[in-house]
Structure 1
Amino acid sequence: MTVDLLADFVRADRERDLGLYGIHVHRDGHEPLTHRFRSDDRVNLYSVAKTFTSVAAGLAEAEGRLGLDDLFLDHFPELRPIAADGFERVTLRHLITMTSGSSHKWFAHLRIDAVDLLHEFVAAPLEAEPGKRFSYTGSGPYAIGRVLARATGANVRDYLMPRLFRPLDLHNPAWHTCPLGYPFAESDLFLRTEELARFARLLLQEGEWAGRRVIPAEYVRRMPAESVDTTDSAEHGEQFTHGYGLGVWLSGNGTYRMDGAYGQYAVIAPQKRAVLTVTAHCEHDTDVLTAMHELVLDRL
């Protein structure tokens, strides 16, 4: 594997106006391959943050603090009086996989006018039976962050500091918070391209880093395996129709990925023992993913 592998990808940045920041290629048995289009500053990973929140839930589950099939309201019983009809059947798994059935739509770039966003989410009417329909929104992952805070006594960022961020030498990452001080969980985590690549490599290695078990291997295997149907997401692009797991998108070709707005991607390819990580700002971000596959990953 040589730098020549990236030549067409680098050229595509200019020809296709991809707005790339950087690319990092890891393949077992080879030196890492990188190219910078600008300095490697920490950038908003947008919805890639959902994967970190999922891993936090997996760690908390391994510690016996919660279970993915727990009912959400068992962790917040005081919200039962305001909960929408049917919300009593919503589990933590539904929140991670965005299949709660709730009509609530929220993402971290939207202003929060509610006194407590969690209350607003719980009270919103359901549009579907929990677990029956995928609907992309940040509400569920945000709620998972709130469950983690209650179950562990630490917000999702602080909970991950000794368990994930420090082992990977991800020093003091910023994670924007709601007005109540809880990390958004679904977005607004800031890391460098190379830092995100470490996390992606950790998943390729089934949770082991430098001889240390960081994430339970079973949970890493479950992340792409325990998926929900997303065929109704075709209007967002064909790449979103292959299923969504525990915080990761399935690609339909044996790979799975972390996926954030404007071209924040980390593609894990277990069969090729490879990881491809990119950060960017591209208005047509799926063009970045297409170039990653066609010009780099498919050639490994």
Structure 2
Amino acid sequence: MTALDLVRQGVPRLRQAVAERDLGLEGLHIWRDRHAPVTHRWVSDDRRDVFSISKTFTSVAVGIAQAEGLLDLDDPVLAHLLDLRDYLMPCLFEPIAIPNPQWHRCPLGFPLGAVGLFLRTEEIAQLGETLLNNGQFDDRQLVPADYVQLMTSETTATNRPDPDNQTYGLHCWLCSRDGAWRMDGMYGIVDRPVQFPRPRRGAHR
């Protein structure tokens, strides 16, 4: 069974389970390489605070800034108070079709970094697609590929009991199966990129 078959069979079952069990799921967006995304909404896809998923965007900003020679990963945080939103507009947000995102700011005027970024489900998925493609979007290298790899290889053990919460990368969580990792925000806001093996040419008709 291919990944496409799993999607085709799994989405109707999920929709039925949400209806029967009142799971409170608001939206689903599955990006598939070389296929149109599979989406379903239970409520309108409005921008909202994605909480700790903001951290992954901050991490990506650090990776881009490092490649540009603006900072080093070992530098103290307070040595580089970038306006993350303005910095990411031309080098990430605009290229992946996230127009004018809002980010809560501290009293000094800087985006909070850890929380406060307002996005739609589809916009979160745009970053997931970019990172799955080793930092590329529409054949344009936006995030350095070596930093994308570092995000899930430079890890810290959390000693938490849940297998999906035991390993933390550079502002992303490593999952316990399928080689997946995720951006994870409070109240169940999750983007879980996973790369399924592509079928060999001619293997499926």
TM-score, normalization by structure 2: 0.87
Kindly indicate whether residue 176 of structure 2 is the aligned counterpart of residue 252 of structure 1. yes
Decide which structure has the larger Cα Rg and report it.
1
After the TM superposition, which of the residue ranges 173-182 and 63-72 deviates more from structure 2? 63-72
Q: Which residue of 1 aligns with 2:108?
A: 180
The runs of at least 4 consecutive aligned structure 1 residues that moved more than 4 Å come to: none
Kindly indicate whether residue 148 of structure 2 is the aligned counterpart of residue 224 of structure 1. no
Give me the whole-angstrom Cα distance separating, in 2, the residues matched to 1:187 and 1:272: 33
Q: State the shift of 1:5 in Å.
A: 2.9
Give me the whole-angstrom Cα distance separating, in 1, the residues matched to 2:130 and 2:169: 17
Q: State the shift of 1:252 in Å.
A: 2.1
Sort the Cα spacing of 1:71 and 1:186 in 2 relative to 1 into closer, same or farther, 3 A. closer
**1:1-300 alignment to 2 at 5 Å?**
1=4, 3-72=8-77, 75=79, 147-149=80-82, 155-231=83-159, 233-234=160-161, 237-241=162-166, 243-253=167-177, 254-272=179-197
Q: State the shift of 1:31 in Å.
A: 2.1
Contact map agreement 2:163 2:175 (CA 8 A) in 1: no
Give the secondary-structure state (helix, strand or coil) at the position aligned to 1:39.
Answer: coil
Give the number of the structure whose residues are more often strand, by fraction.
2
Give me the whole-angstrom Cα distance separating, in 2, the residues matched to 1:52 and 1:182: 15
Structure 2: 5+ residue runs without aligned partners? 199-205
Give me the whole-angstrom Cα distance separating, in 1, the residues matched to 2:81 and 2:135: 20
Give me the whole-angstrom Cα distance separating, in 2, the residues matched to 1:212 and 1:267: 22
* Higher RCO (Cα < 8 Å, 6 or more apart): 1
Which letter does structure 1 place at the counterpart of 2:189?
Q
Contact map agreement 2:81 2:110 (CA 8 A) in 1: no
Give the number of the structure whose residues are more often helix, by fraction.
1
Give me the whole-angstrom Cα distance separating, in 2, the residues matched to 1:263 and 1:16: 16
When the two chains are superposed, the root-mean-square deviation of aligned CA atoms in Å is 1.7
